[in-house]
Structure 1
Amino acid sequence: MGKGARKRGPKKDKAPKVREVFVGQPFEGLAAEPELIALREFVPSATAPLSLVDAGERKITLATVLPMAAAAFVRTDGEVFVGLQVQTRSSDVSRDLGRAIRWALTAEPGDVLPVPDTTSPPADGERLQDLLVADAELDVTLHPNFDWWLPGDTDPSGEVKVSLERANEAIMPTERLGTGSYWVLAGEKAHLRWVRPEPEGRLMQALARLSAAGELSLGEGSRYAGSFRAHGLLVPVWDLDPEAHAREWAEPAEQLGARLEEALKSVDAEPLTAAERRARDGLVGRQLTLR
């Protein structure tokens, strides 16, 4: 060995790199897909019991936001919650939630999972599609505040109290009008945000057909504002008269839904006319950013 040469030990094997594949439609295949997206993206305070394939006797409740934006926690009374709106995420939101659920199945009262596991290599059987009953809908309960974070008449303290107060102050009044369909009062404006399960191209054709026919609004005091994408689905948005109560829009929204269903059937049978194509081009350009 030459002068100054360094003696090298045995070569160590490097840990295999995990290839992160982004999943653009993480809830695909679940009947609750539109509701899951709504609860994750814009519904402030809501809960829904989960229908798990194999949970034994343990009941787990899905929630929009948990204290400190935790991924999951068990209340001191034993109620188990998994959060949708968290601080970190991996390339597959379905896997993040599935891992949080699996953690919650064995957690004890008072346990908290601050963030989802986003670093472990992917494994079989840990996505929502593996854990939930695929055709089960979500039975959503909206709450006017986040007091359900605590059991009974418990008085909050410390960081939980601060987090609870801030969360309650930030809530925008919200009402559910149907599956994936929510009225939201955002400051001085009111909106209908509607997560639709159809493929984007087909949905845009149906919306264009209604637009060309002058049937895309919910009636007086409303107008189609545009749409945004969330987890692989399109979310059309309508501006509504903020002076009208949410219940006043329930029937118009139902009627719009019926018109949209008919339009979806018709675009499968008949191509768009020139006027409808122009309307589609106009709608495509009206992309919104959710704030």
Structure 2
Amino acid sequence: MSKKNARRAQAGSGTATLEAPADNPRRPCSCGSGRRYKACHGSADAADLIVPRPFAGLQAETELIALREFVPSATTELTLRDGVVQTPDQAEAAEADAQSRRVLLTTVLPGAAAALTRADGTVLLGMQVQTHSGDLSRDVVAALEWALTAGPSQVLSVVGRATEGPRLQDVLVDGPLEVTVHDDFSWWLEQPAEPGSEVAASLERANQAILPTKRVADRPGAYWVDAGDRAHLRWVRPEDEAPLMAALARLAAADELGLGEGSRYVGSFRAHGRLVPVWDLDRDAHPSEWDAPALAFEERLQRALASDEPLTDAERRARDGILGRQFTLR
């Protein structure tokens, strides 16, 4: 199926934007916070409110979190639905233009910009930006809407702090993302930089700061990173935290939480409503050597998730120990 046909086939399956309930602003806000709309995204300080799971409902949620939080250099092409531009006086022309333009979601752009347009019309959107509101999903789409109506070779440094408008859930054809991890930032440039130029020097500085990163077992949200003195596996998990913690506790009590020789489970962190387990790995092992152990761990994890037996005393102690090694990213 072509991308355009796929967009049309999915056109009615989106998540509603965060707007006031038509008949009662006292109803729960659609961002999922549990607060009433008038006290949440209908309040005066709505731009500062945190949407706990900005990418909830998207198949690519774990990948989006990884790109936002810890993957240094990566790109993925987005497939947009028809009619994503909502500006009335520009909608018709912009919609026709949008469907013929490439849109690349990236980890970070030069200067941590929110978006830029290339001379050929390609749109690049940055996930790791200078400033953001409490809803990262809406911020990305605000940058997208700017880019789809901007001229070639333009840069949007920051987005405004809007409290209304579409989100990624509203404009994407939902599905997995094909992420390409890059060894450097040469994809920033449309043509090679002149040797010795300021652009070349800036690119070299950015490249020197990259921690080598590879996908593991082609699993969504799972990335190997070389941190210098050691390597890590960071794996954004799609499960809700309570059942995932219980499953990890079962594995820990059975001494099955590691990835085999040369690995050690060190803890986890929360990011945008999902849990990210982390392992230390033998830095001398090639990243691909962890593919099979990661897949074997996922099999064990799925079996543990399927269990509905109460946790044993040993498993509860293991869960308490795991909980003691958690922190939350904001």
The question of a shared fold, defined as TM-score above 0.5 by the shorter chain, is answered with yes
Could you tell me how far apart the structure 1 residues matched to 2:144 and 2:197 are?
27
Counterpart secondary structure, 1:226: strand
207 and 257 in structure 1: CA distance in 2 versus 1, 3 angstrom threshold:
same
- Residue 166 of structure 1 and its aligned partner are, at CA, apart by 2.0
Residues 1:234 and 2:281 aligned together: no
Give yes or no for contact 2:129–2:158 (8 Å, CA) kept in 1.
Answer: yes
Identity %: 61
Which deviates more from structure 2 when the two are superposed, residues 40-49 or residues 279-288? Answer: 279-288
Could you tell me how far apart the structure 2 residues matched to 1:183 and 1:208 are?
23
Residues 1:146 and 2:174 aligned together: no
- Residue 141 of structure 1 and its aligned partner are, at CA, apart by 0.4
Task: Give the aligned partner of residue 167 of structure 1.
Answer: 206
Residues 1:65 and 2:104 aligned together: no
String of CA shifts for 1:169-226, please: whole Å, max 9, x gaps. Answer: 1000100012100000001110000000111111110000011111110000001000
Counterpart secondary structure, 2:260: coil
Task: Give the aligned partner of residue 31 of structure 1.
Answer: 59
Give yes or no for contact 2:193–2:199 (8 Å, CA) kept in 1.
Answer: no
Which deviates more from structure 2 when the two are superposed, residues 70-79 or residues 60-69? Answer: 70-79
Give yes or no for contact 1:89–1:96 (8 Å, CA) kept in 2.
Answer: yes
Counterpart secondary structure, 1:37: helix
Gaps of 5+ in 1: 1-15
Counterpart secondary structure, 2:159: coil
Gaps of 5+ in 2: 1-42, 83-97
Task: Give the aligned partner of residue 43 of structure 1.
Answer: 71
State the AA in 1 paired with 2:267.
Answer: G
Counterpart secondary structure, 2:326: coil
156 and 66 in structure 1: CA distance in 2 versus 1, 3 angstrom threshold:
farther
Task: Give the aligned partner of residue 318 of structure 2.
Answer: 279
Could you tell me how far apart the structure 2 residues matched to 1:57 and 1:168 are?
31
Counterpart secondary structure, 1:105: helix
TM normalised by structure 2 equals 0.78
193 and 272 in structure 1: CA distance in 2 versus 1, 3 angstrom threshold:
same
State the AA in 1 paired with 2:188.
Answer: W
Work out which of the residue numbers 130, 135, 160 in structure 1 matches 2:170.
130
Give yes or no for contact 1:75–1:149 (8 Å, CA) kept in 2.
Answer: no
Task: Give the aligned partner of residue 180 of structure 1.
Answer: 221
Could you tell me how far apart the structure 2 residues matched to 1:117 and 1:160 are?
28
- Residue 159 of structure 1 and its aligned partner are, at CA, apart by 5.9
Task: Give the aligned partner of residue 309 of structure 2.
Answer: 270
- Residue 26 of structure 1 and its aligned partner are, at CA, apart by 0.5
Residues 1:256 and 2:283 aligned together: no
Give yes or no for contact 1:68–1:163 (8 Å, CA) kept in 2.
Answer: no
- Residue 64 of structure 1 and its aligned partner are, at CA, apart by 0.4
Task: Give the aligned partner of residue 206 of structure 1.
Answer: 247
236 and 198 in structure 1: CA distance in 2 versus 1, 3 angstrom threshold:
same
- Residue 17 of structure 1 and its aligned partner are, at CA, apart by 3.5
CA radius of gyration, larger in: 1
158 and 93 in structure 1: CA distance in 2 versus 1, 3 angstrom threshold:
farther
Give yes or no for contact 1:150–1:156 (8 Å, CA) kept in 2.
Answer: no
Could you tell me how far apart the structure 1 residues matched to 2:201 and 2:155 are?
17
String of CA shifts for 1:17-76, please: whole Å, max 9, x gaps. Answer: 453432011010000100000011000100000121124212200000101111000123
Report the aligned-residue RMSD.
1.8
Task: Give the aligned partner of residue 83 of structure 1.
Answer: 126
Counterpart secondary structure, 2:46: coil
Task: Give the aligned partner of residue 246 of structure 1.
Answer: 287
TM normalised by structure 1 equals 0.88
State the AA in 2 paired with 1:280.
Answer: R
Give yes or no for contact 1:68–1:160 (8 Å, CA) kept in 2.
Answer: no
Give yes or no for contact 2:193–2:200 (8 Å, CA) kept in 1.
Answer: no
